[in-house]
Copies of this chain bind each other. A is one copy, B any other.
């Protein structure tokens, strides 16, 4: 059994976490379902936890990442903004590149 390298990256703004893997997963679920409550259910996450995450994201980001509405057709919902889509894409790209980078570094340690 050889050693493995694991990693976590995240983006911060003003010493607050903006995006990590879990937050990106939540935003993608909102994108797929159109609502925060449905997104939370699909991730086996309590609504409150999901709301706190989304609130933290929108407070940390320079521009809104979602537009949330209360009441109306379907009770309301949450929509990812264009800016949000951009952030998700950049995070995924950087994260993927990081994996590739560490995969190269693995050569230095796997046979120790």
List A residues at the B interface (Cβ < 8 Å). 1, 3-14, 18, 62, 83, 86-87, 90, 93-94, 97-98, 101-102, 105, 108-109, 112
Could you write out 12 A-B pairs with CB less than 8 Å apart?
A3-B12, A3-B18, A4-B11, A5-B11, A6-B9, A62-B112, A90-B108, A90-B109, A90-B112, A94-B109, A98-B98, A98-B102
**8 extra interface residue pairs, beta carbon distance < 8 Å, beyond A3-B11, A7-B8, A90-B109:** A1-B13, A4-B13, A5-B9, A6-B9, A11-B109, A62-B112, A87-B112, A90-B108
- Alpha-carbon distance A59/B105, docked complex (angstroms): 24
With contact pairs A86-B112, A112-B86 given, residues A7 and B9 touching in the complex (Cβ less than 8 Å): yes
